[in-house]
Chain A
Amino acid sequence: MAKQWREIYDEWEKAVAPGLQQFTASDGFRDFMAASAKVTNALTAEFERASRRWLHFWNLPAATDVRKLRQQVAAVDRELKGLKNLVFEVAAAAPDDVAPATNGKAASVSSKPTAKKAPAKTASKA
């Protein structure tokens, strides 16, 4: 008795799920999702533009201003991380009798991009 509702649900699910899965995997659904994403993005952008104009009129910061600041902070963070990696690499490559350089001058010793550089190899492959 208690499980009757479950049996009914399972029957319904068994009947409906394959069709739904087929639908969500179809090109039509994908096109619909693409269109709705575009419309949503356009509406959001329009609303943000209008609200920003209004808030700026009253000399108030808008969410987009905060967002811009966050992006700038993130960019600075990334730069710092890159510099930190560079300093460690320079320190690791330096001879043992040379103290690791951490000041600004030493950090500018190399301008090699760090992103593509592999770290020092420490052991041979098995």
Chain B
Amino acid sequence: MPPSTLAKPIPKNGANGTAPEADATELNLFAGFAPFADMWETGMRRWWNLTRHVMGIDRAPVGQTPRDAVWSNGKAVLYRYRSENPTVRPPLLLVMSLVSRSFILDLQPGNSFIERLVAEGFDVFLLDWGVPDEEEANNTLETYCDELLPQAVAKVNQMGGENGVTVFGYCYGGLLSLLYAAGHPDDPIRNLVVMATPVDFTKMPAAMTGVGKGGIHPEHLMDHTGNVPAEAVRASFTLLTPTSDLSTVMDFWEHLDDDKFLSSYQAMTSWTRNHIPFPGATMIQTVEMFNEGNGFVTGDLMLGGRKLDLADITAPFLNVIAERDHIVPPESTYGLDELVGSDDATEMRLPAGHVGLIVGNGARKRSIPSMIGWMLEHSDVES
């Protein structure tokens, strides 16, 4: 809907070359209509935006940075983002969480973590786990940390010129990265970065760790595929802030006439409302090892029948903490730099939420530059 031309600003004084007296009469005639013209324009834009939102017309595209699939195993796919001339070595492997879609890392042009990394000269790879079904129901932590991640890291290392790999895990992807790094100390991990990664599960919100307690067993949550369905995953997030869905609708209604807002709203809601199922066997293991055992803190970590020790992680290490995170509260992530064995271990606290670390203005101005700064310091940069 083209904006109405009725709402042009009306000059307070005479227009160029005309007598103020003559303009004044004209102004008086139209000035009274200006508020109505504004209302008309706003109303029409709201109506049009509502129509296109409901009908799915011209929806905000997500994940637009060009990329190529370079490796796959089952539903896990490794993407490499196209870059004219990557100047930063080693390559960077982003490891996504198991509960959400990976396009949050490449939300929209101008609001994309990956786009920014590529622009800074990184050779960016993304490991996307895909959407699990019956085939992945038996996937365990070993499947991810002993099979898929080592294979993906080997592939990235080979494609990146055998310089090692910076592994970057987000949320549960950080947990997987930690287990992998601890379990494979001889793998070519040049740097390890984890962001918004739960460590002390006793300090996690009840809605996240309630499974395994009070009679709720993981099996109760699983559907016929053997996985925890996406709706249950989403419900657990909703329970953290029960009014958030309603507030989102209110925001939508309030800013319906703002095209830019609508575009961001559509992009974000397509992520927050589209979680993916959580593999059943991994869920059972997570509950036992972390919800009940608090493995990272107690040191009671087992993978593939062997005991893991975070102290075996000796690569330079960065733990990125979101101080306003309500999903993985900051107090549940503190102290990880003390648990790993790296001499060069940093804890970076940033004033952001769980997603705000990588999406939005705060991310663009503060979080992303801070993280990129650390990674550049720990990489080789060709001039």
* Residues of A near any B CB (own CB < 8 A): 3, 6, 9, 13, 16-17, 20-21, 24-27, 30-31, 33-35, 37-38, 41, 67, 70-71, 73-74, 77-78, 81, 85, 114-126
A-B contact list, 17 entries, CB within 8 Å: A20-B243, A24-B207, A25-B205, A26-B206, A30-B206, A30-B214, A33-B216, A34-B216, A77-B135, A115-B142, A116-B146, A118-B150, A121-B187, A122-B188, A125-B164, A126-B190, A126-B191
A116, B185: Cα distance in complex, Å: 15
Choose from A67, A71, A78, A126 the contact partner of B164 (Cβ within 8 Å). Answer: A126
Choose from B74, B158, B187 the contact partner of A125 (Cβ within 8 Å). Answer: B187
A33, B214: Cα distance in complex, Å: 9
> Contact string, B23-39, partner A, CB cutoff 8 A, digits 1/0?
00000000000000000
Structural contact, B74 and A81, CB atoms closer than 8 A: yes
Chain A residues contacting B5 (CB-CB under 8 Å) are none
A78, B226: Cα distance in complex, Å: 14
A115, B74: Cα distance in complex, Å: 14
A31, B185: Cα distance in complex, Å: 42
* Residues of B near any A CB (own CB < 8 A): 73-74, 133-135, 137-138, 140, 142-143, 146-147, 150-151, 154, 157-158, 162-164, 184-191, 205-207, 210, 213-216, 220-221, 224-226, 239-243, 246-247, 250, 254, 304-305, 314-316
Between A9, A20, A26, A73, the greatest number of chain B beta carbons within 10 A of the residue's beta carbon is seen for: A9
- Other than the given A21-B242, A27-B214, 14 more pairs (CB < 8 A) read A16-B243, A21-B241, A24-B242, A30-B206, A34-B214, A34-B215, A41-B220, A78-B135, A85-B147, A116-B142, A120-B154, A122-B154, A125-B186, A126-B315
Chain A residues contacting B316 (CB-CB under 8 Å) are 126
Chain A residues contacting B226 (CB-CB under 8 Å) are 71
Using A67-B224, A74-B133 as known contacts, say yes or no to A115 and B304 having CB atoms under 8 A apart. yes
Secondary structure call for the A interface = helix
A113 to B, closest residue via Cβ: B304
B242 to A, closest residue via Cβ: A20
Structural contact, A30 and B250, CB atoms closer than 8 A: no
Structural contact, A3 and B243, CB atoms closer than 8 A: no
A114, B142: Cα distance in complex, Å: 10
Structural contact, A74 and B221, CB atoms closer than 8 A: no
Between B73, B215, B226, the greatest number of chain A beta carbons within 10 A of the residue's beta carbon is seen for: B215
A26, B377: Cα distance in complex, Å: 45
A119, B154: Cα distance in complex, Å: 8
Structural contact, A6 and B242, CB atoms closer than 8 A: no
A57, B269: Cα distance in complex, Å: 45
Using A9-B250, A78-B135, A124-B186 as known contacts, say yes or no to A119 and B150 having CB atoms under 8 A apart. yes
Structural contact, B215 and A35, CB atoms closer than 8 A: yes
A47, B349: Cα distance in complex, Å: 51
A52, B146: Cα distance in complex, Å: 40
Chain A residues contacting B142 (CB-CB under 8 Å) are 115-116
Chain B residues contacting A67 (CB-CB under 8 Å) are 224
A3, B251: Cα distance in complex, Å: 11
Chain A residues contacting B163 (CB-CB under 8 Å) are 123
A125, B342: Cα distance in complex, Å: 12
Using A25-B207, A37-B220, A74-B133 as known contacts, say yes or no to A121 and B247 having CB atoms under 8 A apart. no
Structural contact, B158 and A122, CB atoms closer than 8 A: yes
Using A34-B220, A74-B134 as known contacts, say yes or no to A116 and B305 having CB atoms under 8 A apart. yes
A67, B134: Cα distance in complex, Å: 9
A43, B277: Cα distance in complex, Å: 22
The 6 A-B pairs with the shortest beta carbon distances in the complex, nearest first, are: A74-B134, A123-B188, A34-B215, A30-B214, A74-B135, A116-B304
A82 to B, closest residue via Cβ: B147
A19 to B, closest residue via Cβ: B242
A33, B185: Cα distance in complex, Å: 41
Q: How far is the CB of B296 from chain A (nearest CB, A)?
A: 21
A31, B220: Cα distance in complex, Å: 13
A28 to B, closest residue via Cβ: B214
Chain A residues contacting B188 (CB-CB under 8 Å) are 121-126
A21, B220: Cα distance in complex, Å: 23
Q: How far is the CB of B227 from chain A (nearest CB, A)?
A: 11
B210 to A, closest residue via Cβ: A30
Chain B residues contacting A126 (CB-CB under 8 Å) are 164, 188-191, 315-316
A30, B134: Cα distance in complex, Å: 28
B185 to A, closest residue via Cβ: A125
